[in-house]
Amino acid sequence: MMPKIVVTRVLPDEVILELSEKARVEVHADPLPPSREALLDLVRDADGIISLLTDRIDREMLDAAPKLRVVSNYAVGVDNVDVAEATRRRIAVTNTPDVLTESTADLAFALALAAARRLVEAEKFARRGAFQGWHPLLFLGHDVFGKTLGVVGLGRIGKAVARRGALGFGMRVLYAQPRRDEAFERDVPCARVGLDVLLRESDVVSLHVPLTPATRHLIGESELRSMKKTSVLVNTSRGPVIDEASLVRALEERWIFAAGLDVFEREPEIPEVLRQRPDVVILPHIGSATIETRTRMARMAAENALAVLGGRRPPSIVNPEVL
Ligand code: DGY
């Protein structure tokens, strides 16, 4: 009998069709995520799940799915999956890196520019008909070109952002991460520094670390206080990397100039106080949201699931020790 794959949200038709040739596919077709109960029920006889970052795949979910062999996450981040527990049960956990790198880096840069140049505020002003003529002091922001960019986490997306900054915007690029990457430094002019130096010296700080116990609230009150008053903080990684309550204070008390956020601490909740502030550009977690990228991600998630179920090595596996 063909294996059963549960898909927790609608994917492009062509991908579902591809999956259906090799598996029995059950799709949760609702635009909203399945409730916890619905998901527990869906996975009961599944051999594979194509999950989203909004689906918590923890011990209870794995208990509910005794036949499960693969959790194929439709995301590069896997903080929604208990990878250690899946590994213990010899369940493969796969993800979709590379295919979303450039789209996410583009969005990080868009947020940096939007926040530094006050684009959203200015656009709303023009749209409501308030523009009465050129004024020397209208919506003054800060330059991005030629400034210092601090990249926290020099993984694939961090590197793509660093490349844009150094080569496209003439920026001095600093990066913070455990190990120096000399090969990358030869390719793109940049320097590794401690997080404290990066925060003190950067005009744009962009976060690109995965969410782990070590990175939760990596940016809190003392980090925000150490940043330049003219600086912009950009987050396209995971919301809990920033202590949101401290960020609100940092903006209210002007420790920093602005923030550009694609992710939030308690998604999908975005605190009212942030939504009201003109110095925060807020987006609904759309870092990888281009037609091209989402299609590539869906294909890769499907390939990952089918490969594991077919006894082949998947294109990207987080816990290869289970193979
Ligand atoms: C990811 O892949 O982890 C993003 O947050 C969604 O594309």
Each residue of 64-109: pLDDT tens digit?
999 999 999 999 999 999 999 999 999 999 999 999 999 999 999 9
Compute the distance from residue 131 Cα to the ligand 1 centre, in Å.
37
Does 87 share its domain with 224? no
Q: What percent of the chain has pLDDT over 70?
A: 100
Confidence class for position 260, pLDDT limits 50, 70, 90: very high
Query: What pLDDT is attached to residue 152?
Result: 98
Residue 31 above 90 pLDDT?
no
Report which ligand 1 atom has the smallest distance to the Cα of 96.
2
- Please state the length of the chain: 323
Return the ∠ at Cα 74 (arms to 72 and 77), rounded to 5°.
Answer: 95
Q: What is the pairing mode between strands 148-152 and 92-94? A: unpaired
Does 86 share its domain with 123? no
Residue 1 above 90 pLDDT?
no
Does 269 share its domain with 140? yes
Does 133 share its domain with 276? yes
Listed in sequence order, the residues at least 6 apart from 214 whose beta carbon sits closer than 8 Å to its beta carbon are: none
Does 166 share its domain with 85? no
Q: Which of 8, 9, 53 to mutate to test the pocket of ligand 1 (most atoms within 8 A of CB)?
A: 53
Does 35 share its domain with 105? no
Compute the distance from residue 264 Cα to the ligand 1 centre, in Å.
13
Does 35 share its domain with 175? no
Does 14 share its domain with 120? no
The rounded distance, in Å, linking the Cα atoms of 59 and 62 is: 5
- Residue 26 is a catalytic residue: no
Does 109 share its domain with 215? yes
Of the listed 238, 244, 265, 299, which one is catalytic? 238
288 lines ligand 1 (CB under 6 A): yes
The rounded distance, in Å, linking the Cα atoms of 312 and 304 is: 9
Compute the distance from residue 238 Cα to the ligand 1 centre, in Å.
9
The distance of Cα 272 from the centroid of its chain, to the nearest Å, equals: 22
Report which ligand 1 atom has the smallest distance to the Cα of 75.
2
75 lines ligand 1 (CB under 6 A): yes
**Mean pLDDT in residue range 275-300:** 97
pTM: 0.96
Q: Structure tokens of 74?
A: 């439709």
Each residue of 201-226: pLDDT tens digit?
999 999 999 999 999 999 999 999 99
Domains held by the chain: number? 2
Mean pLDDT of the chain: 97
Compute the distance from residue 304 Cα to the ligand 1 centre, in Å.
16
Does 56 share its domain with 135? no
The rounded distance, in Å, linking the Cα atoms of 49 and 69 is: 9
Listed in sequence order, the residues at least 6 apart from 166 whose beta carbon sits closer than 8 Å to its beta carbon are: 149, 172, 173, 188, 189, 190
Does 44 share its domain with 108? no
Does 15 share its domain with 49? yes
Q: Range of 44's domain? A: 4-97+291-322
The rounded distance, in Å, linking the Cα atoms of 44 and 156 is: 35
**CATH code (residue 68):** 3.40.50.720
Q: Which of 9, 95, 100 to mutate to test the pocket of ligand 1 (most atoms within 8 A of CB)?
A: 100
